[in-house]
């Protein structure tokens, strides 16, 4: 059980939840609130699930004692499923297509819809908004005590999925210590100290585990990134130097784990190193990958411009989940308090390295921004439509198990909360209908921008923040660039840690 101190009134209290509670809540939401449309075809398809969960102290807790555990309400406020992303050639300058439909990205964009709705409520002075007025004109801040937990049914693709496989097992069950991960050639001590929250072991005898061995080297939840060809990744290399990860962090996963077990191989990620990075050795066994590098999601014959989910989560941990547009209206970024992963191949150390370790030395960020000490936990509950679970159920069923081609977006908003897409457009969209308004996902760039403009139009201009009053803004690009504190933080992050990050050219953001 995780316990995080939060301020409720003047008392220091304990907010309490477990990883299994978060997972169960998300699985139930998936089963009861998401439609059959967009879900995997039984026994033939699998998918990935991600969600944002709001944690809020119960209202009647305000009078509780200082040392009394706080009862909390847990609510799913956004959810996403999906396994695909489009190739570079299919990207559009009109902002009406989803470039990246991996579950984590769908859940985060759905969360932005939720935040926009909550800002609408705040601007209309509704008391049930999660936002309250900030100290500066036109800015809002989260209501005290509200936290957000990010749930994913699987390990994020990219760096977090480069997980050691030990000689006596086919899954990475033994947590890897930071000292060993940084200096894998050293022999670890016989009695490593293992924090209680890292002792999440898989049942090696379970049918799911045995089935997952059918395709070694690819974790459930990482296979969606596996490329079927030898393509290069990403567009022309940027002029900025590669990420400034300390040399010792660029280790291959080799040597021995703290338990003394020999690392014989690693789970592979299909996400390719971006141009300008050191690159993988491609050697057989545990030396196949370099760790700590930026990676781009592969496509099927058409390379993508989408960074891996590990990289995106690391970025959100510094810049927040709200994005540049909403930063115009917020006093501080909206950060994750915790990340919970479902039952799947998993390494606590790989998760920490990927999500927080690569940015731990980033400094000189603008006020309100910072590298967050996000809590990372794993649940022991398996997502029933994950690749491993479906593989275990189908036994010797004929035909190939394939990823579901559709993505589902759900947001806790009153109008059109659901959005089912395929190939970046609402499912069923014909080629002829692509330019129609109906052929836009609710979480596409252009639709989120339209919602943001609608929010601004509901607020009197004399109550707008300074960042929106200083100049005439028209395009999506202009609005994003005018969020000066966000752009300053993003610039610092790129210069100090993520120099090779692939950015879309400005002409892809010139829509109005």
Query: Residue 90 has which token pair?
Result: 């299919």
Whether 384 is catalytic is no
DSSP sequence for 302-316 = S---PBPHHHHHHHH
Report the residue count for the chain: 512
Q: Which residue intervals of 460-507 are DSSP H helices?
A: 466-469, 476-481, 484-496
Residue partners of 301: CB distance under 8 A and separation at least 6: 87, 228, 229, 231
Torsion angle of C-alpha atoms 410, 311, 3, 141, degrees rounded to 10: -60
Q: Token match 């969960």: residue?
A: 53
Residues facing residue 296 across a β-bridge:
272, 307
Identify the three-state secondary structure at position 50. Answer: strand
What's the start-to-end Cα distance of the chain, in Å? Answer: 47
Angle at 346 between CA 288 and CA 43, to 5 degrees: 100
Using CA atoms, how far apart are residues 46 and 159, in angstroms rounded to an integer?
A: 22
Buried b (16+ CB within 10 A) or exposed e, 422-438: bebbbbebeeeeeeeee
Cα→Cα distances 123→36, 78, 144, 323, 413, Å = 35, 21, 18, 19, 16
Q: Give the containing element (helix H, strand E) for 180.
A: helix 178-182
- 21, 45, 104, 202: the catalytic one is 104
Category of 374 on φ-ψ map: left (φ > 0), alpha (ψ -120 to 50) or beta: beta
SS3 content of the chain, % helix, strand, coil (to 5): 30, 20, 50
Tell me the β-bridge partners of 84. 101
- CB neighbour class for 227 (10 Å; exposed up to 12, middle 13-18, buried from 19): middle
Active site residues per annotation:
104
């Amino acid at each position: 059980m995780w316990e995080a101190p939060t301020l409720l009134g003047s008392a220091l209290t304990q907010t309490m939840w477990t990883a299994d509670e978060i997972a169960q809540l998300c699985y139930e939401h998936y089963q009861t609130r998401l439609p059959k449309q967009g879900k995997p075809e039984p026994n033939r398809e699998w998918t990935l699930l991600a969600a944002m969960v709001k944690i809020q102290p119960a209202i009647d807790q305000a009078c509780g004692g200082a040392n009394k555990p706080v009862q909390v309400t847990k609510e799913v406020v956004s959810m996403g499923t999906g396994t695909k992303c489009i190739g570079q050639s299919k990207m559009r300058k009109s902002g009406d297509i989803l470039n990246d439909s991996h579950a984590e990205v769908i859940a985060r964009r759905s969360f932005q819809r939720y935040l926009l709705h909550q800002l609408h409520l705040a601007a209309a002075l509704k008391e049930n908004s999660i936002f309250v007025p900030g100290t500066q004109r036109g800015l809002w801040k989260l209501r005290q005590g509200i936290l957000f937990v990010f749930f994913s049914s699987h390990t994020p693709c990219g760096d977090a999925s480069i997980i050691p496989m030990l000689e006596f097992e086919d899954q990475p069950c033994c947590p890897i210590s930071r000292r060993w991960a940084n200096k894998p050639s050293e022999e670890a001590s016989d009695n490593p100290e293992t924090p209680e929250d890292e002792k999440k072991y898989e049942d090696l005898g379970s049918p799911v585990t045995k089935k997952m061995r059918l395709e070694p080297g690819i974790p459930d939840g990482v296979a969606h990134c596996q490329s079927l060809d030898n393509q290069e990744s990403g567009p022309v290399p940027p002029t900025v130097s590669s990420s400034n990860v300390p040399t010792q962090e660029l280790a291959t996963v080799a040597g021995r784990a703290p338990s003394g077990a020999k690392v014989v191989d690693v789970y592979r990620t299909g996400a390719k190193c971006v141009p300008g990075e050191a690159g993988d050795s491609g050697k057989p066994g545990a030396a196949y990958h370099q760790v700590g590098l930026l990676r781009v999601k592969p496509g099927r014959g058409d390379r993508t411009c989408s960074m891996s989910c590990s990289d995106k989560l690391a970025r959100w941990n510094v810049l927040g989940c709200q994005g540049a547009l909403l930063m115009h209206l917020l006093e501080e970024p909206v950060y994750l308090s915790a990340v919970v992963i479902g039952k799947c191949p998993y390494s606590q150390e790989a998760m920490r390295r990927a999500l927080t370790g690569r940015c731990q030395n980033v400094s000189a960020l603008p006020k309100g921004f910072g590298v967050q000490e996000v809590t990372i936990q794993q649940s022991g509950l398996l997502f029933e439509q994950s690749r491993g679970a479906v593989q275990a159920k189908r036994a010797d069923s004929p035909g190939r198990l394939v990823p579901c081609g559709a993505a589902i977006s759900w947001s806790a908003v009153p109008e059109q909360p659901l959005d089912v897409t395929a190939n970046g457009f609402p499912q069923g969209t014909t080629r002829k209908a692509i330019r129609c308004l109906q052929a836009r996902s609710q979480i596409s760039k252009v639709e989120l921008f339209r919602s943001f403009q609608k929010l601004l139009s509901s607020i009197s201009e004399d109550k707008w923040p300074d960042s929106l009053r200083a100049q005439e803004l028209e395009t999506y690009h202009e609005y994003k660039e005018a969020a000066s504190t966000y752009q300053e933080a993003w610039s610092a992050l790129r210069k100090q840690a993520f120099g090779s990050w692939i950015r879309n050219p400005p002409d892809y953001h010139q829509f109005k």
